Chain A
Amino acid sequence: MNPLLRHLLFFGLFAVLPALGAADYQRDIKPILRDRCSSCHGPLKQKADLRLDAGSLIPRESHAEILTRIVSDDEEERMPPEGARLSPEQVSLLRDWLASGAPFPPEEPVAKSPRQHWSFLPITPHPAVPESPHPHPVDAFLFGTGAAPRRAPDGSLLRRVHLDLIGLPPTVEEQRRFEEIPDLAAAIDNLLTRPEYGERWARHWLDVVRYADSNGYERDAEKPFVWRYRDYVIESLNRDKPYDRFILEQIAGDELSDASVETHVATGFLRLGHWDDEPADPQTDRYDQLDDIVSTTGQAFLGLTIGCARCHDHKFEPLTTRDYYSLVAIFEPLERPRKGRTELPLPIEGTEVYAWREPSAKAPPSTILIRGSVTRRGDPVQPAIPAILTERQPSFPAPGEKSTLRRLGLARWIADESNPLTARVIVNRVWQQHFGEGLVTTANDFGLMGAPPARPALLDWLAHWFMHEAHWSLKDLHRLLLTSQAWQAEKKEGAPIRYRRLEAEAIRDSMLAVSGQLNPKRFGPAFRPPIPLAAIEANTDRTSVWKPAAEPETSRRSIYAYIKRGLVIPMFETLDLADTVSSCPQRQVTTVAPQALTLFNGDFANEQATHFAERLRREAGSAPEAQIRLAWRIALNRNSSPNELDRMKSFLTEQSLEQLCRVILNLNEFVYPE
């Protein structure tokens, strides 16, 4: 047994022994303080200026009153004021402990004031790059005066950079050119100019904004023209729209002075959520929809889990219900264009746009809902930013002619260079996608409960650089990160770059590219690929729920595939597609047998294997050796080893080329890029 486990086992057993003697602080006292006292007398709130979340904080002169209050029969006096009373055992433990002078371990940790939480503090203005022999700032931060890890071989890097930036493996021709002139920086520049870049990276953003083509629930109706939002994201990335502008457009594109069809489409972001067109309670449903918007906006742009403050002050973050409903007030003027249960698009200059609308520039009154209940209205609220995030509230613009301009106020504050969270959050997302793991591993949660940054100085340097040097250019950020030795390192234990399976879309798209079937058609309504009958049978409307398209439409890139909330394409679902209901900070990587069934037995993979075999015959002729060599080049982007070649040749003496191709598409190496 490893020593850590033994240690844990020992203390674990110790911890469950029944209380025999005097109260033990860790075992007996701290749990009571934590569970029953600290939500009002803790780091987030200090009612009566009293903190009880750690023994070291409890003033001696309060001991007597604490003892009186916890046994008081007066409902106005008793502590804790809500929930069950402390049990006689708990009271006696506390009494004994206080009587013996309230001893606590000297090393007892005391939580800091949330205002001092790292991500709420301003981004370090001019963070210095550490002294280092490495010229690249990222390497200087990561390796300092130490050595950088070994660089991956050129061939691996070409494959890596293609899959990373465009989600497709390099062609044989691209491999040849790179072998002649192995200029990785040029390859990066070139890939960033390709339309496939947006098709790859837009999907990462769609994960964050809970994109789907339908609403979910009984009718699971299509969101009309929602695909224009998907296309908007692809085009914005391809044009390298500055990220601050990207924020403004999605939250308040209709309220900008230079509003256009495009910026209206962008506000589709606000309408991407699930929606029950026959809700159990329409009034509550209205606030559920607003909650979806507030929660997603908080997580996507600010890395904050604001939704938890809907019914009560956030228990673990310095966010109050007032903060929450002040944000709700920003979106409350929005209305869903609809006719009964049917959603309607908005006509904007002759284009149908899937977005909300503000019917009037006069905002409806907003209030706190006590315990989240629509029947218990509390204090009125005005649009505001959570108090913890700003010393002074930004000035929300006065209502405009057509709308309240409340969202514009919020969007400007989020996109402002002084916002402590925005740049850190997006830089971390991009880092996570390139390196496999974020500097902050909880990409949607930069709050007190989130993980602390592994390299706070580097994160701040990147955030500052992104805003002030790159002027919010995501392409510049890609270029910066990919030219570091850190990103180009061999993916070995301890390297900053993780070895990670491709996402479902990149696996499918790679198969199409390899088989030669990839249909490059861009944009427009989503296509429905064929799915197994068994998945359709389990629906209420089996004849109408999924009408698959035909070739070549079905060989388009995965980002154009229809994401139906009630019937997710099984191959995507089993390969860990993002949750379609709430913001997904990072794809899961699970490995289970149904994935093997889909990729080995499923129609799609077998069809691509057949096409791949035809392609090999066409391009390499009938000689097995030539076919194998080309297959390795196309699918794995390297030469086959003599050993592999022998084994393949012997396999081909009794099995078909189609079978060989099926095996190649299922190799670990195919889905785990070096």
Chain B
Amino acid sequence: MNRFLLNPTPFGPNRREFLWQAGAGFAGLALTDLLCREATASPLAPRVPHFPAKAKHCVFLFMNGGPSQVDTFDPKPALAKYHGKPYQGDAKVGSNGRPVGHLMQSPFEFKKHGRSGLEISSLFPHTARHADDLCVIRSMHADTAAHASGCLQMNTGGIFIGKPSLGSWLSYGLGTTNENLPSFVVMTDPRGGPIGSASNWSAGYMPAAFQGTLFRGSGSPLLDLAPPKNVTDRTQRRSLDLLKSLNEEHLQSRPGDSELMARIESYELAFRMQSEAAAVVDLSNESAATLEMYGLNQPRTADFGRKCLITRRLIENGVRFIQLYSGGGHIEDTWDGHTDCIKNHLTHAGETDQPIAALIADLKRTGLWEETLLVWGGEFGRTPTSEGVGKPGRDHDWHGFSMWLAGAGVKGGQAIGATDEFGFKAVEERCHVSDLHATILRLMGIDHTRLSYPHQGLNQRLTGVEERHIIAKALA
């Protein structure tokens, strides 16, 4: 029996069921999982999902800071009509005592795009070309007005630190097909990480093997990937060979010990990771046209473009979950347009629109579109009112905001749900953050009610204990 994974099986019976079944035979146990665990010692070994799923990879394009729904994917003609008038609805406006201004129309023009006629603002001319692939959810809502807890909720389902993130759940539930690369990759913005930094890609109470790995778009992509400067390739290999032969000799005193064997293998894996991860960020074999398509030749789009291109390459290499952050550090360096939402969104949309559209086109070109799920959005939205009378900023709005899904298993060219007349509050087909999580898991082949991890006496789930709903309309 392997002692490697101290943890229970992701798809196994929950503890209560286990108690019930003890003595009553093991009928109903997830057999695939048992077989997998018997065959390998790695916590990241691939596992068979609950349902056959098209999506094998997930890319979360995290618009850190909170993009404004009424300026992006949720057109509100009423705002033009009532522009400059005070808001008189019942939603709690604003966060943390910031000044509340009047209703403010979007300066960005909305147009219908594609055969579907999906409405998208002029902030995203490139992405709009893929309108028929996008499934916009206009009725998102979250539980918190603060960035720290908002980012945590979007990433881990809860507003407290210590919970595993979406990427951890996917790594735990599905494993990876390529252990030469991390299964869960995070790329942050050059201006800094999101608020709460590593708590957002933490494995929480799960083993560290499931946590997100920071990946840099240039140089040495992974922590401690390269040998020390004074160590040549030959020395590195000779040292690893010596280590391996000494470890193998030591193993003879404990033949078949799975932990020792796994540790020997981990050094070889690290060595392969060194070449494979370095190869992923080496874009020299990409055509000039590709580099241009992603915007690598323009300063504004170069960084996010590079990350998007590396994302495609990571997907090609079997990485399960990739999260890209647009925006980092504080306030206007993120989508957090408190002072001037217009200028802010022009900047951040300008940096990301072309690269995201290129990623979609490139995934289609390579056929990976058929097995990749894209998620776009931030931790919440922004108020339809300005922050302060006559000011161009917008404050946080967690009562209603927009996100989009696209790719494998998603029914594109539609907008689901609706906010109220002004875009404050989700009112139709309301979709909680945890509903989105349930839907993402479903698209990846996982039943969110059955993927659990025991901790503190409970079978914890990404979607928590409340009843959550899959956004059925989003599924193709």
Contact = CB atoms under 8 A, between A and B. Distances in A.
A575 B208 CA distance: 8
A366 to B, nearest CB: 23
Contacts of A499: 254, 257, 259
Given A449-B15, A573-B208, A593 B270 contact: yes
A26 B457 contact: no
Interface in A591-618: 591-598, 600-603, 606
Contacts of B238: 651, 654-655, 659
A577 B43 CA distance: 17
A574 interface: yes
A538 B146 contact: no
B289 interface: no
Contact of A601 (B26, B147, B204, B224): B224
Nearest to B330: A540
Q: Which of A27, A597, A644, A662 has the most CB of B within 10 A?
A: A597
B259 A278 contact: no
B162 A581 contact: yes
A534 B31 CA distance: 41
B143 interface: yes
Interface in B1-45: 3-7, 15-17, 19-20, 22-29, 31, 34-35, 38, 41, 43-44
Interface string B133-160: 0000000000111111100000000011
B239 A659 contact: yes
B123 interface: no
Interface stretch (B81-89, B186-194, B436-444): B186-194
Contacts of A606: 228
B267 interface: yes
A-side interface mostly? loop
A9 B224 contact: no
Given A539-B193, A588-B6, A667-B246, A593 B27 contact: no
Contact of A538 (B23, B44, B208, B214): B214
A218 B188 contact: no
Contacts of A600: 224, 227, 239-240, 243, 267, 270
Contacts of B162: 274, 579-582
Interface string B256-278: 01011011101101100110000
B25 to A, nearest CB: 6
A306 to B, nearest CB: 8
Interface in A180-220: 216-218, 220
A278 to B, nearest CB: 5
Nearest to B150: A280
Given A5-B38, A280-B145, A280-B149, A668 B31 contact: no
Interface in B158-216: 159-162, 179, 182, 186, 188, 192-199, 204-205, 207-209, 211, 213-214, 216
A369 B351 CA distance: 48
Contacts of A671: 263
Interface stretch (A143-151, A233-241, A562-570): A562-570
Size category of the binding interface on chain A: 35 or more
Contacts of A538: 186, 188, 192-193, 197-198, 214
A95 interface: no
B226 to A, nearest CB: 6
Contacts of B226: 601
A588 B172 CA distance: 15
Given A15-B28, A107-B23, A535-B223, A592 B44 contact: yes
A30 interface: yes
B328 A540 contact: yes
B91 interface: no
| Interface residue SS majority, chain B | loop
Interface in A1-58: 2, 5, 8-9, 11-12, 14-16, 26-27, 30, 34
A654 B232 CA distance: 12
Contacts of A643: 249
Contacts of B204: 579, 581
A566 B196 contact: yes
A81 to B, nearest CB: 16
Interface in A628-671: 643-644, 647, 651, 654-655, 659-660, 662-663, 666-669, 671
A5 B31 CA distance: 8
B246 to A, nearest CB: 6
Contact of A12 (B23, B26, B143): B26
Contact of B457 (A14, A449, A644): A449
B251 interface: yes
A501 interface: yes
B6 A594 contact: no
B239 A307 contact: no
A11 B251 contact: no
A172 interface: no
A576 interface: yes
Given A105-B24, A217-B148, A574-B208, A308 B458 contact: yes
A534 B182 CA distance: 16
B197 A540 contact: yes
Given A316-B457, A535-B214, A579-B162, A588 B193 contact: no
A501 B16 CA distance: 31
B247 A278 contact: no
A538 B208 CA distance: 18
Interface in A304-323: 305, 307-308, 311, 314-317
Contacts of A542: 192, 329
B31 A308 contact: no
A538 B257 CA distance: 37
Interface in A476-528: 498-499, 501
A596 B225 contact: no
A263 interface: no
A27 B26 CA distance: 11
Nearest to B231: A659
A652 to B, nearest CB: 10
Given A109-B23, A217-B149, A305-B457, A588 B208 contact: yes
A315 to B, nearest CB: 8
Residue in B179, B224, B227, B266 with the greatest tally of chain A CB atoms within 10 Å: B224
Contacts of B214: 534-535, 537-538
B96 interface: yes
A596 B267 contact: yes
A243 B216 CA distance: 48
A592 B43 contact: yes
Interface string A449-473: 1000000000000000000000000
B27 A14 contact: yes
B146 A218 contact: yes
A589 B231 CA distance: 30
B29 A308 contact: no
Contacts of A591: 4, 41, 259, 262-263, 266
Interface string A542-586: 100100000000000000000001111010011111011111001
B242 interface: yes
B159 A11 contact: no
A667 B247 contact: yes
14 contacts: A218-B195, A218-B196, A316-B457, A449-B15, A534-B220, A538-B198, A540-B330, A566-B161, A574-B208, A592-B266, A594-B182, A598-B223, A655-B238, A660-B242
Given A305-B456, A594-B182, 15 more contacts: A15-B27, A276-B146, A276-B149, A308-B458, A537-B188, A565-B161, A579-B204, A588-B7, A589-B4, A595-B266, A596-B269, A602-B223, A654-B238, A667-B243, A668-B264
10 residue pairs, one from A and one from B, having the closest CB atoms: A305-B457, A581-B162, A280-B144, A538-B193, A15-B27, A218-B148, A596-B270, A593-B269, A597-B224, A591-B262
Interface of B: 3-7, 15-17, 19-20, 22-29, 31, 34-35, 38, 41, 43-44, 96, 143-149, 159-162, 179, 182, 186, 188, 192-199, 204-205, 207-209, 211, 213-214, 216, 220, 222-228, 231, 235, 238-240, 242-243, 245-247, 249-251, 254, 257, 259-260, 262-264, 266-267, 269-270, 273-274, 328-330, 455-458, 465
